[in-house]
């Protein structure tokens, strides 16, 4: 099931807002619609967002080449795509890479950007395979694993990050069970991770986010393993909201906490020269469920999409170039 593709001159996205009930693809013909799909989370997961951005830049390049002022139009469209979601480093980086490539005649821009996106997709596939191999030492037979959000093939151009590691560990060693946090408020764990675990034949149960502490205290968790939308030079990790809490709980209970993500999610300027904006999403995602109001009419909501886990709480970081332990210096 391909999350991101490019077919007949259009960006094709598997609409993850509809899963698992409905499998629906969006065929996107212009950069603005691509931006909207990224912003509205039709596609999500840092590597997949980066890949979608690379294809969106191909659409932008084609549009800009037809404008009266191609260079100016390309800059406008690139800035629009880069601002779709602020926290994941892959999105802005892929826009910047594309802009660096589009220096020749505007008539060539589309082909150049598309070629880059296609090579990036193949690169993600190889990266994901390496991530799964490098993470294997974290596992042992019969292990019980807890994961958060969704890090499977739906989140990348390949097999996934932490999810691929889980599947490979189950294939080689045999896991007892995976506990998938439901991941409020958009339920990526209940809707997407459980869906992919079922397809992969991995035994699993879904838990509410608030049950993680109970499960750890009951001895039901041997390893917490998650992905990342951004990894700082000191190992700090920006990931789906709730990840920081899991790291604190894991440390209290003496459980290893591992992060699996490609080097493209690493940001050597953070902390330091770069500040990271934590995306604040629509309060209605918290106040409503399936379009129906569940909170009282006078209530508002705070809805951060990500939190930051200090590197000191991270037992291991797995990238395609190896498995690393603290202290981190990326």
Catalytic: which of 128, 181, 222, 229? 229
- Cα separation, 317 vs 233, in Å, equals 12
State both tokens at 140: 């042992």
Per the DSSP assignment, residues forming a β-bridge with 177 are: 144
Active site residue 15: no
Neighbours of 302 (CB within 10 A): 8
Instruction: State the angle between helix axes of 46-65 and 70-82 in degrees (0 to 180), rounded to the nearest 10.
Output: 160
Task: Note the Cα 328 to chain centre separation in Å.
Answer: 21
Task: Report which DSSP code applies to 304.
Answer: B
- Cα separation, 17 vs 243, in Å, equals 21
State both tokens at 287: 């106040």
Radius of gyration of the chain (CA): 20
- Cα separation, 123 vs 25, in Å, equals 23
Catalytically active residues, by annotation: 229
């Amino acid at each position: 099931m391909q999350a991101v593709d490019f077919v007949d001159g259009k960006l094709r996205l598997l609409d993850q807002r509809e899963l698992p009930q409905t499998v629906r693809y969006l065929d996107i013909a212009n950069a603005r619609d691509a931006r909207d799909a990224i912003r509205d989370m039709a596609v999500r997961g840092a590597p997949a967002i980066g890949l979608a951005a690379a294809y969106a830049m191909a659409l932008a390049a084609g549009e800009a080449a037809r404008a009266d002022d191609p260079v100016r139009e390309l800059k406008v469209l690139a800035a629009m795509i880069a601002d779709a979601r602020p926290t994941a480093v892959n999105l802005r980086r892929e826009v910047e890479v594309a802009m660096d490539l589009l220096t020749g005649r505007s008539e060539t821009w589309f082909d150049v950007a598309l070629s880059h996106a296609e090579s990036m997709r193949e690169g993600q596939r190889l990266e994901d395979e390496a991530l799964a191999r490098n993470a294997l030492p974290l596992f042992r037979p019969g292990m019980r694993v807890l994961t958060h959000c969704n890090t499977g093939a739906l989140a990348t151009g390949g097999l996934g990050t932490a999810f691929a590691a889980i599947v490979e560990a189950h294939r080689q060693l045999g896991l007892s069970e995976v506990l998938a946090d439901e991941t409020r408020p958009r339920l990526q764990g209940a809707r997407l991770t459980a869906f992919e675990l079922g397809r992969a034949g991995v035994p699993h149960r879904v838990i509410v986010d608030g049950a993680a502490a109970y499960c750890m205290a009951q001895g039901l968790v041997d390893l917490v393993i998650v992905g990342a939308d951004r990894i700082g030079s000191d190992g700090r990790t920006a990931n789906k909201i709730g990840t920081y809490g899991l790291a604190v709980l894991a440390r209290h209970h003496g459980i290893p906490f591992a992060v699996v993500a490609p080097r493209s999610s690493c940001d050597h300027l953070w902390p330091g020269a770069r500040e990271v904006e934590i995306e604040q999403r629509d309060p209605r995602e918290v106040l409503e469920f399936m379009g129906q109001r569940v909170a009282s009419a006078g209530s508002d909501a705070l809805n951060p999409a990500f939190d930051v886990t200090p590197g000191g709480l991270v037992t291991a970081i797995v990238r395609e170039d190896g498995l690393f332990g603290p202290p981190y210096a990326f």
